[in-house]
Structure formats: structure tokens, C-alpha cells
Amino acid sequence: MDCRFVFEDGEAFGAPSVSGETLLATAERAGASLLVDCREGTCMSCRGRLTAGKVDYAPRYQRTVQIAPLAADEVLCCIAQPAQPQVEITFSYPRAAVRPVRPMVLELQEIVPQSEKVVLVRGAIRGRFKLAFMPGQYLDISIPGTDSRRSYSMANASSTPNAVELHVRLVPDGVMSEYLTNRARPGDLLDVRGPLGVFYLRRRPVPRVFVSGGTGLAPMVAMLRDLVAWGELDQPVSLLHGVTTRGDLYGIDEVKQLLTHFADARFAVAMVEADAAWDGVQGFVTDLPLAAEFERLGTDIDVYLCGPPPMIQAVRHVSDRAGIPSRRVFSEAFSAAPASANSK
């Protein structure tokens, strides 16, 4: 079977497909890159239009595809497999948009607790490459002493690309969590790859709604920092943030400070397991005035969602109901690491 991949700028390449292989695997085996994030059908980053042939999905992905906000001719390359000898996929981005992903070295500088569960990891990129990234993108980090790697969004502005800041939620028995809690030391050199992902700030003059869950705040902070650095402050911004417990709550003062720069900024936080001292909204991020914000700002807006997959799905339902085109809704799902991230 042969797959052909066509880009917006007319660039194209073809590659033979091995039985049972996804379109993404075929492209990568041919040494080519596509825009991808989650690699498991949740983020929509790898979507393309099927312009010839047919594709199929493994049984375990049938439900994923049913609920994905895809147009009739769109497919998800990370989980779709060719079902006819000739398949052609067309992407709505130029091939040049796929930036080279470089292996780099991150020197760990400090780990600063932000709350009971969240730490701020500061580091510096060493070596001859600079980490040129767009705010919202992420890095893959190899965890020292293991065969595992994990993904983390930059929270630093893209104007300070090599002074990396990451917000990491520590989870029980987590491989990265264990390293950061017990073994990490300033000066450790970590192998990283990046920049990765297509969840990045679109620079156009429209209102923006950011919805984050937990450490999904990290890329939003990067985007806000860049908007402030660029002086792009005229358009309304709303940041609606959700956490599960008080232990997940961090970064609020910095967000408030960043938002003071904007002419029209709104910010609200919801906590699911609210304690007695919590005086904000109790519940999920969808219990915040999300639909009201969409109604206030209209449909010519950009929406950025980052956090756990169920949060993203829930907010996408609200944005769909509000009539916001799915191509204006960008998301990054902080899904747990796929098995492939547990060996290099």
C-alpha cells in the first residue's frame, strides 16, 4: 500500500505502508515529520483530509473517532491505517510549519515547590542549539536512570527560549515525579527533544479564551507572557482555570499580575474538592461562566484548551454549542504517557 502526504504549499512525499501501520508511523518511517501531539487520537493535531482512498481505525479507536470533532473527509493520522492500496492525505499547513525537532541538553537549575503537588522546574538549554519555540509548545524529557520520557509545556516566554520553566504536577508512583522528588539535583543534564506540538498562540487580533486544568496553566502562562512582551494587549482575554484540590492550585498571583496588562481581562478559578477556605466556584471548569464568555465574545475568537482529556472534551462540547468553529479551538491534552514513552 502506498501513502501520499500533500501539504498546503504543494510540497508532497510518498511512502509505502506496512500492514497494520498508522499513517503517522508510515510518514515517520520514511523520515518525515507531521504535526502531532498526543499520538492517540485526542488532540486533533494530526488531522488531515482524505483526498484519495480509504482508511480504517483499530477497534479500540472506533469510539475515539466517533466523538472526535472531525469533518466527514478528515482523518487522524496517528490512529488511522490505510484500507486501500492508494491513500492520499492533504494537510492545511505548509510543510515548512513542521519545525525541526532537535535533541538538546537541559541543565537543571532548581526545583521550587508551588503547592502541595506542583513544582516549578527551572533549567537552561546548553549546547549549540537554541530552543526556538512558539508559546504553547512542549518538550520531551528523558528521565535520568530510566528508559522513560515525559512531555512538559514551556511556561517561559518564547523571548527567553533557553531559560526553561516547567510546571510539573507530582503524581504518586510517577517515574518523572519520583526523579524530581528524590533524585534530581541542580546541574543534572537531561536529554530533551523539542520544540513539539501544534498547540501554540496564533498571532491575530481576535479575543482569546484560555481554559486550563491543573498544570495545563503552564502553556497559558507562556502565551500571556508573550502577549505582554509583544505589547499585544488590546484584545479581550479570558482565562478560566480548574483544579481538583487546593494542592493543585498554584500560579494565581502571577496570572493576575499578567492580566493587569490587558485592556479587558477576566479570570476565574473552580475547585472540584473545595475546602472550607475556598471562596471561589466549587466544581469543574465547565461550572465557570464559560458559555457566557463565548456569548459575550462571539464566534470570531480563538479558544485554547489545556489539561486532562475529559476537561478538553467537556469544553469542546460547550464551544461547539456556542457555534465556535472547531478550527478555532486549539487543545493540548495532558494525557498520561503512552507505552512508547516508557522506552526510547
Ligand X SMILES: Cc1cc2nc3c(=O)[nH]c(=O)nc-3n(C[C@H](O)[C@H](O)[C@H](O)COP(=O)(O)OP(=O)(O)OC[C@H]3O[C@@H](n4cnc5c(N)ncnc54)[C@H](O)[C@@H]3O)c2cc1C
Which positions touch ligand X (CB under 6 A)?
37-38, 138, 150-153, 166-169, 171, 173-177, 197, 215, 218, 332, 334-337
Give 46 or 217: the residue with its C-beta nearer to ligand FES: 46
**Residue found by looking up cell 526553561 in the block:** 164
**Cα–Cα distance between 335 and 151 in angstroms, integer?**
10
Supply the minimum distance, in Å, between the C-beta of residue 42 and ligand FES. 6
Of 224, 305, 324, the closest CA to residue 44 belongs to 305
Supply the minimum distance, in Å, between the C-beta of residue 77 and ligand FES. 6
Residues 6+ apart with CB under 8 A from 254: 221
Give 1 or 163: the residue with its C-beta nearer to ligand X: 163
Give 250 or 262: the residue with its C-beta nearer to ligand X: 250
Residues 98-157 that bind ligand FES (CB under 6 A): none
122 binds, among ligand X, ligand FES, none (CB under 5 to 8 A by kind): none
Give 123 or 309: the residue with its C-beta nearer to ligand FES: 309
- Please identify which residue in 15, 38, 166, 222 interacts with ligand FES, judged by CB under 6 A: 38
Q: Are 210 and 220 in contact (CB under 8 A)?
A: yes
Interface stretch with ligand FES, choices 43-51, 244-252, 264-272, 321-329 (CB under 6 A) = 43-51
**b/e sequence 157-184, b meaning 16+ C-beta within 10 Å:** bbeeebebbbbbbbeeebbbbbbbeeeb
- The yes or no reply on residue 46 touching ligand FES (CB under 6 A) is yes
Give 143 or 227: the residue with its C-beta nearer to ligand X: 143
Kind of pairing between the strands at 281-282 and 265-271: parallel
DSSP state at residue 154: B
DSSP per-residue letters across 40-96? SSSS-TTEEEEEES-EEE-GGGHHHHHHS---TTEEETTTEEE-SSEEEEE-SS-GG
Supply the minimum distance, in Å, between the C-beta of residue 270 and ligand FES. 26
153 binds, among ligand FES, ligand X, none (CB under 5 to 8 A by kind): ligand X
Supply the minimum distance, in Å, between the C-beta of residue 215 and ligand X. 4
**Cα–Cα distance between 216 and 173 in angstroms, integer?**
20
- The yes or no reply on residue 316 touching ligand FES (CB under 6 A) is no
- The yes or no reply on residue 44 touching ligand FES (CB under 6 A) is yes
45 binds, among ligand X, ligand FES, none (CB under 5 to 8 A by kind): ligand FES
Interface stretch with ligand FES, choices 40-48, 179-187, 234-242, 275-283 (CB under 6 A) = 40-48
Supply the minimum distance, in Å, between the C-beta of residue 44 and ligand X. 13
Cell of 224: 500571556
Q: Are 279 and 271 in contact (CB under 8 A)?
A: no
Residue ranges with strand state E in the chain: 2-6, 12-16, 47-52, 55-57, 74-76, 80-82, 86-90, 102-113, 118-126, 138-142, 149-153, 163-169, 189-196, 208-213, 237-243, 265-271, 281-282, 302-307, 329-333
- The yes or no reply on residue 27 touching ligand FES (CB under 6 A) is no
Helix locations, 118-216, DSSP H = 175-178
Cell of 183: 533524585
Give 6 or 36: the residue with its C-beta nearer to ligand FES: 36
Supply the minimum distance, in Å, between the C-beta of residue 169 and ligand X. 4
C-alpha 344: how far from chain center? 21
Give 149 or 266: the residue with its C-beta nearer to ligand X: 149
Residues 73-92 that bind ligand FES (CB under 6 A): 76, 78
In the bound state, the residue with its beta carbon closest to ligand X is 174
**Contact residues: ligand FES, CB under 6 A:** 36-39, 41-46, 76, 78
